[in-house]
Amino acid sequence: MGARQMAKPALKKCFLYFGVFPEDRVIDADDIMWLWMAEGFIIPRGEERMEDVAEGFLNELIRRSLVQVVDTFWEKVTKCKVHDLLRDLAIQKALEVNFFDIYDPRKNLKSTSCIRQAIHSEGKRYLSSLHRSNSKLRSIMYFDPHYFNVFLLIDVFRHIYVLYLDIDYGEVIPDVIGSLNNLKLLSLRGVRNIPSSIGKLKNLQTLVVVNMDKFFCHLPPETADLINLRHLVVPYSKPLAGISKLTSLQVLRVDCDQWKDVDPVDLVNLRELEMTNIYNSYSLNNISSLKNLNTLRLHISFGRQYTNPFPSLEFVNGCEKLQKLSLGGRLEKLPVFPDSITMIVIWQSRLTKDPMPILGMLPNLRNLHLSRAYEGEEIMCSDYSFSQLELLHLNYLDNLERWHLGTNAMPLIKDLSIYNCQKLKEIPERMKHVKHFKHIRSLI
């Protein structure tokens, strides 16, 4: 059977899965793709990564107009949704093949035997009706805003792969979570403490904690025992000893305090690193040990962007496979970038020296976003600079008055946005004819 034929059933399952979410829900692309992986829909071939195959499936659903793009960043879909009619179709088809069931107390007072179940309302009523003999249950997606301690029914969940609690659960998750031996994805909200028993979940691929009020979550040292963990997205509060043991990690988003003592040499699979609350006193040099790093986001401590600059960023040039870089906070100077860079976001950096001569020489740069990044009065884009640039966004360059553009600079530009550069007197004539050109002086 050919690869295209093999993909069709999996692609259908991926589309049907959108029906699990409540109506009009805007869905994080990472969420849906990581759910597909946990459910076993994504089967890579050869050296393929599951994440790349899942992204290909999402893009194919978008190409077929089955999924709508809500937001993108760095040429990747970050948020998406399905039209109400297509959601209804997904639910109808899912019910026909017993793919999932959405609990509706008006229609079924008793739970079904379907292996995937979504609860949008009357959650307490649903859970109290569950049959403890339902050993086939594999996924619970809980969206009911009314709190209920789902772990009281842990016996029913013994064999599940997915536990997605889109509710503010409470401060502490009970120890019994460690008995869910087959769990591959655990997504929680409003949690301050995760117990040491989390270390027993040897099959866990994705651990996500979303805390809307920005408070931290305590992760126990046993988290480092999750040998199959691929995505760790938790605002955790203390350094996690042994994080280097998580050799399967693909995505890591952390506070800088959790990184500064890490020896990342064994994190050979890490592709995406996001680090916040960076202080000038920290050294980030060990990031250069991440030989497969593709995406790096670094943000200065909140509220300190205007006072404390970044520590040395010279390590960046040693990240030979780095393609996407975001720097948020004050920069004393630009680092030396590797030639592999294709996308750069620089914001709140307050550079005093024109960044364009350096950025313009990057041979593969396609996407550049500067926001409150430069305090000077002019930018110079010399001849033959920005040879591959397609998208340029200049935002809040408050002192910018003059833009000099060489005759052969930016030959491929197709998307230009200039927002709130109040003093910019004249835009180069050639830029006025860019395919997607937007110039907004102020929305006030």
Q: What is the pLDDT of residues 365-413, one digit of tens each?
A: 999 999 999 999 999 999 999 999 999 999 999 999 999 999 999 999 9
Q: What is the pLDDT of residues 51-83, one digit of tens each?
A: 999 999 999 999 999 999 999 988 899 999 999
Q: What is the pLDDT of residues 273-331, one digit of tens each?
A: 998 888 888 889 989 999 899 999 999 876 554 567 898 999 999 999 999 999 999 99
In the block, which residue shows the tokens 């009619």?
Answer: 85
DSSP 419-441: ES-TT-----GGGGG-SEEEEES
Pair 177, 158: CB distance under 8 Å: no
- According to DSSP, residue 269 is labeled T
Rounded CA separation 67/80 (Å): 7
Model confidence at 100, in pLDDT bands (50, 70, 90)? very high
Question: What is the per-residue pLDDT for 4?
Answer: 42
Pair 90, 18: CB distance under 8 Å: yes
Q: How many CA atoms lie within 13 A of 391 on its CB side?
A: 12
Least confident of 146-150, 173-177, 257-261: 146-150
In the block, which residue shows the tokens 């408050």?
Answer: 398
% of the chain residues with pLDDT over 70: 90
